[in-house]
């Protein structure tokens, strides 16, 4: 009977230890799952934060690029405007020079026309005596008119 009691006690002790071991195993598994879940959450949170940071940097870079592009575009338009303005000034100067040249030429022509009317015209004496002189070898006796 003692042996049976002892075997029963050992069996109960074995069962009790088995239950305790299973309980501890379950608790350990639960803790492990909880720890893995928290680790996944931390990892996901970290990834989300990194992704948000990258997105923010991307947006900031895009805004910076847009600002620089707008500045460049504004500068380019100002340069084009200045270039067109200079071209117009050069064109106006050329037109003014041409107008001045034309007026000067007209004035000189009119003065020449006025002075040409008052100048005496040369008398043409014939083919051999333009302006009253012989065209060939000069000889007093040559081509005398009698």
Domain borders along the chain are: 1-84
Mean pLDDT, residues 124-134 taken together: 52
pLDDT digits (tens, 9 = 90+) for 25-38: 999 999 999 999 99
The Cα–Cα gap between 49 and 55 comes to: 10
| CB-CB contact of 128 with 136 (8 Å) | yes
What pLDDT, on the 0 to 100 scale, is given for residue 31?
97
What is the pTM (predicted TM-score) of this model?
0.44
Could you tell me the two tokens for 139? 């000889």
Q: What average pLDDT does range 125-131 have in this prediction? A: 51
Looking up tokens 């050329």 gives: 94
Question: Tell me, what's the pLDDT at 58?
Answer: 97
Joined together, the tokens standing for residue 39 give 């680790």
Binned at pLDDT 50, 70 and 90, residue 23 comes out as: very high
Q: How confident is the model at residue 117 (pLDDT cuts 50, 70, 90)?
A: confident
């Amino acid at each position: 009977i003692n042996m049976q009691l002892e075997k029963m006690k050992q069996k109960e002790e074995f069962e009790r230890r088995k239950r305790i071991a299973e309980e501890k195993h379950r608790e350990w598994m639960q803790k492990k799952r909880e720890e893995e879940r928290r680790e996944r959450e931390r990892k996901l949170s970290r990834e989300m934060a990194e992704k948000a940071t990258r997105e923010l940097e991307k947006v900031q870079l895009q805004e910076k690029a847009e600002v620089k592009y707008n500045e460049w575009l504004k500068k380019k338009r100002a340069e084009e405007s200045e270039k067109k303005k200079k071209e117009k000034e050069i064109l106006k100067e050329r037109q003014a020079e041409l107008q001045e040249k034309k007026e000067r030429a007209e004035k000189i022509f009119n003065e020449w026309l006025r002075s040409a009317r008052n100048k005496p015209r040369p008398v043409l004496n014939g083919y051999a005596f333009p302006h009253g002189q012989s065209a060939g070898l000069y000889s007093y006796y040559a081509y005398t008119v009698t």
